[in-house]
């Protein structure tokens, strides 16, 4: 225990003294250095070797009854580039995959700290995006208005996201759970990259839980974008978004609030980091062409 504490103190001192980690002026009021207690974060402890080569800060702010705390990580050699949002603190594989992405491709990520839980004091962080100062009627998972949360998250994202880069997210799901390429709904269409019989018992990219979510406002799916992703061997889900079915998720806000359809969310099963990293590589190759 003493060695672990010593390491955390030394690591913190090195970070705070690092002149290569300047914070963009646009978010300076939101960001502060990590505190000693932050180094007990399981995600940081699990990735401590890889994180030593990256910049780490904390973002803390309040809105209503919510006290939000997030971890900002970026690559000081190449801080501007792809930037990922990780809303669920219990999705450890997504966090590890984000560290891989930032080390390899630059940019950064913002991860909500909810004490290793999916929800933050009863609120799903991925169902909390809205500019409205009153609760959005269609957002059944939103507990209260969230203009401060929304503004601050996107302030941080836009401080690092390179112009022309899409909005990006990383998630993990359960084996054959609610997020599966074999399941569709009224507003979400599924496109398989492999024959059905290969997907049913598939692993890796063929697994029903390995998929890329995209979103847009058009009834007709963007065939060119979908076909390119399918050609890369990745299943695709297309979510049609409108104000009537808005669920206050990040994907819905990007379409309705940012008037953009450049959104990608990489889903992989809990524990399958190898597949999620492979999907990151394929997606980065796709969006950088």
Query: What are 29-60's pLDDT values in tens digits?
Result: 999 999 999 999 999 999 999 999 999 999 99
Q: Quick: pLDDT tens for 129-140.
A: 999 999 999 999
Please tell me the predicted confidence (pLDDT) of residue 2: 55
**Total tally of structural domains belonging to the chain:** 1
Q: Report d(CA 71, CA 58) in Å as an integer.
A: 5
- The predicted structure's pLDDT at residue 231: 97
CATH code for the domain of 32: 3.40.630
Identify the pLDDT of residue 20.
81
Task: Report how far residue 39's alpha carbon sits from residue 9's, in angstroms, rounded to the nearest whole number.
Answer: 9
Question: Can you give the pLDDT at residue 19?
Answer: 58
Following DSSP, what letter does each residue of 72-109 receive, concatenated?
A: EEE-TTS-SB-EEEE--TT-HHHHHHHHHHHHHH--EE
Instruction: Determine the structural domain holding residue 85 and report its residue range.
Output: 2-287
Under-70 pLDDT residues of the chain: 1-19, 289
Position 13 scores a pLDDT of: 43
Nearest-angstrom CA–CA distance, 109 and 22: 16
Per-residue model confidence (pLDDT) at position 288: 78
At 57, give phi and psi (nearest 5°).
-140, 170
């Amino acid at each position: 225990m003493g060695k672990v504490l010593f390491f955390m103190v030394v690591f913190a001192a090195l970070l705070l003294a690092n002149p290569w980690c300047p914070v963009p002026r646009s978010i300076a009021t939101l960001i502060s250095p990590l505190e000693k207690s932050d180094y007990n974060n399981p995600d940081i402890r699990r990735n401590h070797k890889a994180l030593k080569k990256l910049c780490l800060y904390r973002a803390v702010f309040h809105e209503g009854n919510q006290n939000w705390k997030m971890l900002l990580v970026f690559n000081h050699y190449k801080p501007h580039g792809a930037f990922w949002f990780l809303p669920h603190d219990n999705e450890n594989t997504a966090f590890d995959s984000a560290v891989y992405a930032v080390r390899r491709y630059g940019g950064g990520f913002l991860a909500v700290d909810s004490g290793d839980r999916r929800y933050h004091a009863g609120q799903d962080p991925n169902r909390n995006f809205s500019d409205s100062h009153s609760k959005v009627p269609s957002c059944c998972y939103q507990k209260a208005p969230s203009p401060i949360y929304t503004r601050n998250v996107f302030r941080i994202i836009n401080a690092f996201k390179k112009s022309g880069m899409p909005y990006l997210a990383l998630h993990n799901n359960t084996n054959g759970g609610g997020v599966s390429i074999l399941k569709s709904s009224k507003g979400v269409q599924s496109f398989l990259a492999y024959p059905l019989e290969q997907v049913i018992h598939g692993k890796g990219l063929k697994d029903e839980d390995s998929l890329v979510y995209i979103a847009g406002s058009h009834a007709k799916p963007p065939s060119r974008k979908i076909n390119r992703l399918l050609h890369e061997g990745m299943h695709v889900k297309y979510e049609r978004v409108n104000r009537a079915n808005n669920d206050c998720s990040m994907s819905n806000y990007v379409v309705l609030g940012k008037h953009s359809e450049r959104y990608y969310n990489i889903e992989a099963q809990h524990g399958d980091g190898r597949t999620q990293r492979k999907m990151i590589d394929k997606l980065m190759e796709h969006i950088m062409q």
